[in-house]
Structure 1
Amino acid sequence: MIRISILFLVFIFKTEAQTSVLNAADSLFVLGNYSNAIRVYKSHSNQPEVYDKLAKSYTAIGNYDEALKYYELGVETNPTNMLLKYDYAKLLSATKKFKEAKSIFSSLIKTDSLNPNFHYELGLVLEKLNDSTAINAFKTTYSLDETHQKAIYEIAKTHLQKREYALVDKYVDKGLESYQNNAKLISLKAQNYFWSQNYREAIAWFEKLIDLGEKSAFVYEKISLSYAKHFNYEKAIEYRLKALKFNPHDATARYVIGTYYLNTNDFENAEKFIKDALFLLDQPLDKEYMKLATVFNRQKKYKEAVETLKIAIKEAPDNYLAHFQMAVTLDSYYKDYDARIKVFENLLEKFPDKGMNAFIEDRISKLKQEKFIKEGEKKD
């Protein structure tokens, strides 16, 4: 009898000791001391009881191989534990093991087809696998939960990619009913208006996005372009300069800003930004040099314009418009009538079949008439 009592006391002691170990490990985990929690969990006598805790601890410190190993052991030991399977599948997805994740999410759906998040997570995996049925999984999620913000975003994003603007509005508006400050949905709304060329509405929604703290190069660039479409170049410049801070060596952005300054007659800044762009670009630059020449012409800096157009023509010798711009510039630059007439005659000879030839012939005729009048005045 005494022996039985002693054995019972030993059992109670061991059980309490193991409970104490588990409590200590759990406390370490809760406090974020994951590595020490792992050490204590591994000292627990009933390892299958702590497989899931070890998996979560290893996940927390970023050791995903060990985490997956313990999730797999946990699922094998307790195959009916849906939460364990769900966490396992999510880690498989996060570590790009999409086929394995798809298999587990599919099995979870078979067990509980009314759980919207199972369908959502499966949709994300299918998306990574380039499976076109991903949208069906997201729509199933939506049908089960019309407030599921993440599913709504994925559905609306897919419709935006297909330029199905009305459907984007439908889903985004539904999502904003339950969460009006969802920045991702507001971004889709703004982009939807931008790509459907409703720039006024796009501006309003991009402004909302900025008010929510979404200050990215993409947002600033798109709102700048929207303002430019409404000829509000001051605002277009303001936001494009903010976008430029994210990538100061963006030659395209600098060139665009230069053209905006040109439209506001701020020739000094137009010249500066277009020159900067030309310095950064590493491609045929005829169009960019032509724009810079326009800036010089608007300032009546004809010599600089001529030199710039020479570079443009060197970049693209067959660019008719560059040759035409050169002729028009030389017409303003040269004083001698014969030289001005010769410029246009050479252009006609070089490009005999272009659409501007009627204008050129008319200009030659007027120059000859002006020359005749001037010569007559000298004789008198």
Structure 2
Amino acid sequence: MNKLLVLILITLTTLADAQNASAIGDSLYALGDYSKAITYYEEASETEKIAISYDALGNGAKALQFYKKALSVKEASLLTQYNYGKLLLKAAQYEKADSLFQILTKASPKNSEFVYQLGLIKEKRNDSTAYPTFFYAHVLDKNHQNALYKIAKYAAEERDFDTAKKHIKSGLEVDANSTRFLQLKAIVAFVEKEYHTAAQTYEALLKLSQSNIPQHENLAVSYTKTNRFEEAIEQYTLLINEYDDKNPSWHFSIAKNFEALRYLDKAQHHFEIAILLQDIPLDNSYVALASVFKKQKDYKNQLEALQKAVEENPENGTALYLLATAADNYFEDEASVIPYYEAYLKKFGENVQFSEYAKQRIKDIKTDLHFNKN
């Protein structure tokens, strides 16, 4: 057997072994056994597959290292460059990623995914041309849902809600259960105070097992705004029990819903907790608590709560006026009430929200006192 034939046989055997190792590596990769797959890919000198496997393991540094090696030893395909570019983006190497996708979009100008990836890079770099790049990706391919979501989100952030709604509708026509488009729809409806739509959309997200604090908060507010007080209480109860039982805003809000349903003891309880936690303006909390005492006809505690509200914020005109009305409810001696109304007028003048009511009440009390005296 001559030397050339031996060389050919050795080469064929080596190729067969490499192909076999590569095939075994592919099988292991498909099963998620990436580390073992790498061993066989190394045997087969499959540099790009090694890079892909390291990426699957979450080892971005190693993946980049082998992609560079793969790109240096042969002319890289568009797919290899695309995968490398995405990895550069994930590794926050934005300048390199941008340069690569600029090249790719020039090489394949009608490829919407290349344009979309370029948009993602621009977005990360706070480049103002990110939006038109996403828009162009969608022009190239109307079925590109990722690009559609980006332009819908951008329109929402710019408060161009009509445009946002149009794109959101298109996204949901393709996939009615798309959580990202549903979340965007809910937020837009909530910001626009379309609380029925917001509630309906947040409910759809709950059915899809989507759960987070802003979602439950916005749903609770939407229920309150649409007079669905019991359902609002359920959401605030969930927030308090599962996320933070020391959140004063949630205690304050659940108290308002209990008050609306005339569960006054529960309302009082949560108002008092909100006051103790002290993270929200106390004057408003005391005003709200006073409202519950009034409904309970507990005028003494109503008066004391409003006195505390005024102490907390002497500039709260509503609290000072309500203090006068509370004194009116509590004191049997009407002469004792006049100074409270006069204090309100002296503090805020005679041309403010409740001034006419205050002046009329002073006049009525003085008239009553005059005739009673006579």
Alignment counterpart, residue 368 of structure 1, candidates 340, 343, 366: 366
CA distance in 2: counterparts of 1:199 and 1:353, whole angstroms: 38
Which structure 2 residue ranges, 5 or more long, are not aligned?
A: none
Choose 255-264 or 24-33, whichever is displaced more: 24-33
Q: Is the Cα–Cα contact under 8 Å of residues 217 and 242 in structure 1 kept in the other structure? A: no
Displacement of 1:110: 0.9
Q: Classify the secondary structure of the residue corresponding to 1:42.
A: helix
Matched residue, 2:355: 357
Displacement of 1:323: 2.0
Say if 1:176 and 1:345 are closer, same or farther in 2 by CA, change over 3 A.
closer
Choose 218-227 or 88-97, whichever is displaced more: 218-227
CA distance in 1: counterparts of 2:148 and 2:322, whole angstroms: 52
Alignment of 1:205-284 (within 5 A): 205-244=201-240, 245-282=242-279, 284=281
**RMSD across aligned positions (CA):** 2.4
Displacement of 1:332: 1.2
Say if 1:232 and 1:23 are closer, same or farther in 2 by CA, change over 3 A.
closer
Matched residue, 2:37: 37
Identity of aligned residues (%): 31
Choose 142-151 or 347-356, whichever is displaced more: 347-356
Q: Is the Cα–Cα contact under 8 Å of residues 147 and 175 in structure 1 kept in the other structure? A: no
Q: Classify the secondary structure of the residue corresponding to 2:84.
A: helix
Which structure 1 residue ranges, 5 or more long, are not aligned?
A: none
Displacement of 1:4: 4.4
Is residue 2:331 matched to residue 1:323? Answer: no
Alignment of 1:1-380 (within 5 A): 1-44=1-44, 47=45, 50-244=46-240, 245-282=242-279, 284-353=281-350, 355=352, 356-374=354-372
Displacement of 1:155: 1.0
Q: Classify the secondary structure of the residue corresponding to 1:238.
A: helix
CA distance in 2: counterparts of 1:132 and 1:313, whole angstroms: 49
Q: Classify the secondary structure of the residue corresponding to 2:337.
A: helix
Q: Is the Cα–Cα contact under 8 Å of residues 24 and 40 in structure 2 kept in the other structure? A: yes
1:266-290 deviation line (CA, Å, top 9, x unaligned)? 2122212222222223354211221
The AA in structure 1 aligned to 2:221 is L
Q: How many residues align?
A: 372
Q: Is the Cα–Cα contact under 8 Å of residues 350 and 356 in structure 2 kept in the other structure? A: no
Q: Is the Cα–Cα contact under 8 Å of residues 248 and 279 in structure 2 kept in the other structure? A: no
CA distance in 2: counterparts of 1:37 and 1:284, whole angstroms: 61
1:93-115 deviation line (CA, Å, top 9, x unaligned)? 11222222111112111111111
Q: Is the Cα–Cα contact under 8 Å of residues 89 and 121 in structure 2 kept in the other structure? A: yes
The AA in structure 2 aligned to 1:297 is K
